[in-house]
Amino acid sequence: MSGKQVKYLAIADALRKAIKESHIAPTEALPSARKLAQQLSVNRHTVMAALAELVAQGWVEAKERSGYRVVANLPIQGSRAINKMAKTPQSFDWKFRVKQNCAVTPKVKASEYPYNFSGGQPDIRKFPFDEFKSHFSQTCQRPKIDDLSYGDSRGEAELIEEIARYLRRVRSITEKELMICNGSQEALYMISQLLLQPGDKVAVEQLGYPPAWAAFERTGATLIAIKQDERGIDPEHLAQVFAQGKVKLLYLTPLHQYPTTVSLDISRRMQIYQLAVQYGVAIVEDDYDHEFHYDSQPIAPMAADDPAGLVIYISTFSKLMFGGARIGYVVANNALIEQVAAYKMVMNHKCNVLVQQSVAKWMQQGGFEGHLRRMTRLYQKRRDFMVQQLRSYQEQGLPIHFEVPAGGMAIWLDTGKSIVGLKEKLLAHQVYLQTEVEFCRFKVLPDELTNSLASNSANNLPENLPENIPSHLPKKEYRFIRLGFAAMNEAEVTEGLAIVMKTLYGSDY
C-alpha cells in the first residue's frame, strides 16, 4: 500500500470517527477539500480520495454547488451510546437453543506428549508425504476447472469410485451407495440429525465412543447402554431393550470394539442382525480401523451381508493417513445417502476437491495400498513388541491381565487396581493414555444407589438419579487402561511403559 493510500484512509477514518461521536452533526457541511488539504498539510487529491471513500460508505453525500455534507439519517445518538458501552466491554446475552458442553479444542492434545499411548493414533511420521505431494502437484498442475466450482456434496466422483472399488474387493461391500464426509464424525452427526428426534432411543455399547454418543444426544435422543462381556455386546440384553420399544438406532464397533478391541463373532452378529430386522432398528456400523487386522483375514463387515438394507456403514482414512486429512465415508442404501447428501448441502456446498482428487490419484497408482501394507506389517510388529513387554511385567509379578487383540491399534489392559487419577499423574510425566473412566457410558454410582438397586429397595433410592440406569450395574472400581501401540517406536514404548508401571505400582515394581 502506498503512502498516499495510507494518508487518505487515515483521513477518512478520522472524519468517520468525528461523525460517529457527534463532533460533526447530520447535514452539517464539511470544509472544502482545499481547506482540509491546507489544514492537514496534504495534497488536495488525497483529501478528495478520503471524501470519496466516505461517500461510498454512506457517511457523507456530495451536493452540487454546496460541497460535502454529513448525511441526514445517521442515528448519531445511538452511535454515541454504543461507543460509550464499547469502552467497558460486555458479553452479549446469547440465547442458545442447545448449549454444547464439549470443548472446541481438547484440554489435552495427545500428540504433544512424547509418550503417546492414544489408542487410535497412527504414526504420522511414517506417512509418505513426498509421494503424496507428487499426486497433489499433479492435481494442481492439471486442475479440472469444472470440479472446482460448487456442485455435488457427495464428494469427488474419482474418489468415490476408488473407495467403492476398494470396498468391493477388500470388504465385500456391494450394491450400496457411497458418500464422502469430512471425517466419520460428520457422518455420525448428519445421520443423527436425519433419523433421530427427542424421545427416540439409541442402543450403544456400555463401553464405547463418546463423540458418537454426543452426536446422538444432540438430537434429544436417549442412549441405552447394552451389557458387554468378553465376546462383545450381549444379544439377550439387546433383545430386552428392543422389546421395550422406541429404539431407532443401534451403534456398534463390531470388528475391533472401541475401546476393548474385542471382535464380535459371527454368531452374535447374526443374532444382532436378526433382532434389528425384527424390531425395525437401523444399525450404524463404525468400522474405524478395518485395515489393521493381523492374525487372519478380518470378518467381513455387517454391511457386506445386509439383505434388509438397514446397515449404515461408516469408516475413515484417519487411521491410515492422519486425522487432519478429514476423509471419512458413509455407505448405505440410496434413499438414505440422498438425504445425507441433501443435508450436507445445507452445511457445506462443496468438499475439499484438491485433496480428494489427490487421494484418488494415490489410490489409482497403488500408493494407498502400498502404504497400507507397510503400516500393517509395522503395527503388527509393534503390537507383538508391546505384548512381549507386558508379559515381562507379568513375569515380574505385576497383576496385569490382557488379551492379545487380533487387530486394531491398542491393547485393553486390566491393571488389577484402581486407575482413578492415573491419567493426571501420567500427564505430569509426559505420558498420555486413556482410562476406562473415559469410555464408560454410566459412571460408577454412589454406594447408597448401588446398594439400593442391588436390593431392589425403591423406597431407599436417593433423589436426582441419573437417567436410564441399566439393570446391570457398572463395576465399582475402574481398572482398565487403553494402551495404543501404533504411534510409537519400540524405544518410546519401552520408556513409556516403564513410567506407566512405576506410576501404577510404585515400590511394588
Check residue 20 and give its pLDDT.
85
CA distances from 241 to 10, 29, 249, 281, 455 (A): 69, 78, 12, 11, 22
With residue 475 as reference, give the H or E element that holds it: none
Fold of 371-508: Aspartate Aminotransferase, domain 1 (3.90.1150)
| Contact yes or no for 27/70 (Cβ under 8 A) | yes
Average pLDDT over residues 461-480: 55
Question: If you write DSSP's letter for every residue of 156-190 in order, what string do you get?
Answer: -HHHHHHHHHHHHHHH---S-EEEEESSHHHHHHH
CA distances from 254 to 56, 101, 169, 269, 379 (A): 63, 28, 20, 8, 20
Whether the pLDDT of residue 167 is over 70: the answer is yes
pLDDT digits (tens, 9 = 90+) for 351-402: 888 999 999 999 999 999 999 999 999 999 999 999 999 999 999 999 999 9
pLDDT digits (tens, 9 = 90+) for 309-334: 999 999 999 999 988 888 999 999 99
Check residue 473 and give its pLDDT.
46
Query: Which residue, chain included where needed, has cell 494518508?
Result: 7
pLDDT digits (tens, 9 = 90+) for 239-283: 999 999 899 999 999 999 999 999 999 999 999 999 999 999 999
Burial class (CB in 10 A: 0-12, 13-18, 19+), 189: buried
pLDDT band at 94 (very low <50, low <70, confident <90, very high): confident
Of 78, 105, 137, 152, the closest CA to residue 351 belongs to 152
* Region(s) of the chain under CATH 3.90.1150.10: 371-508
* Region(s) of the chain under CATH 1.10.10.10: 3-86
Tell how strand 222-226 and strand 201-205 pair up: parallel
All 3 cell numbers of residue 432? 498420555
Average pLDDT over residues 401-423: 95
* Region(s) of the chain under CATH 3.40.640.10: 126-365
Query: What percent of the chain lies above the pLDDT cut of 90?
Result: 66
pTM for this entry = 0.81
| Contact yes or no for 382/183 (Cβ under 8 A) | no
> What does pLDDT average to over the chain?
87
Average pLDDT over residues 488-495: 97
Torsion, Cα of 384, 386, 387, 389 (10° steps): 130
| Contact yes or no for 235/268 (Cβ under 8 A) | yes
126-365 CATH: 3.40.640.10
3-86 CATH: 1.10.10.10
All 3 cell numbers of residue 405? 487383540
Of the two residues 467 and 399, the one the predictor is more confident about is: 399
pLDDT band at 93 (very low <50, low <70, confident <90, very high): confident
| Contact yes or no for 333/303 (Cβ under 8 A) | no
Average pLDDT over residues 20-44: 88
